[in-house]
A and B are shown apart, each in its own frame.
Chain A
């Protein structure tokens, strides 16, 4: 499977600031996704990152808070804007590959703590 890397692996940020998380895949993939995992919780899909067009957001998530870029088939960024302590989570990117049914693979995650 394609290897996914994320940067940064972790960060501590002050409230009111923004952080951009990068996700790099070592081969071209069609679909990329961003998830949030709040402390002790399961994963929640934030949005689907679409190459060449605006991301598709899930209910409860908006572009102003989580702007996403997908400039090509191997790279995506997620920005967490105007952060508050409630944004402290692990943020994971993923992609799907293989013949249907595709398997979803995840990056190592970015652990964010907002003070």
Chain B
């Protein structure tokens, strides 16, 4: 399967703590995107990182990319209960056919 792997599969933290999710993929990519999905609804785009970038920030989100290890991480700082959701990475190898990771279910406890 070309599907990426994410770990952990599930993560439970206290409000205010940081949450880190990791994504690994198998083929060379042009870019990688992170999405959030609340309760089986549509996906919300969070951040895109190009293959020639190593780190990107957006508000409380920090994404890193290590193309030599074919991996990316998403850090959510100072988490809130509203951050409870599933988080997916998706990679594009230049064909517009995004391959999604298996997802991390994050639960933030108030």
Contact = CB atoms under 8 A, between A and B. Distances in A.
Interface of A: 1, 4, 31, 33, 37, 41-45, 48, 58, 90, 92, 94, 96, 101-109, 111
A101 B42 contact: no
Contact of A103 (B45, B99, B101): B45
B43 A42 contact: no
Q: Place the interface of chain B in its size category.
A: 20 to 34
Given A31-B96, A42-B3, A45-B98, A105 B103 contact: no
5 contacts: A33-B96, A92-B42, A92-B43, A106-B45, A107-B42
B42 A106 contact: yes
Interface string B10-30: 000000000000000000001
Contacts of A109: 40-42
Interface of B: 3, 30-31, 33, 35, 40-45, 48, 50, 88, 90, 92, 96-103
A43 B40 CA distance: 11
Contacts of A104: 33, 45, 90, 98
B42 A102 contact: no
B48 A103 contact: yes
B45 A105 contact: yes
A41 B101 CA distance: 10
B97 A45 contact: yes
A108 B42 contact: yes
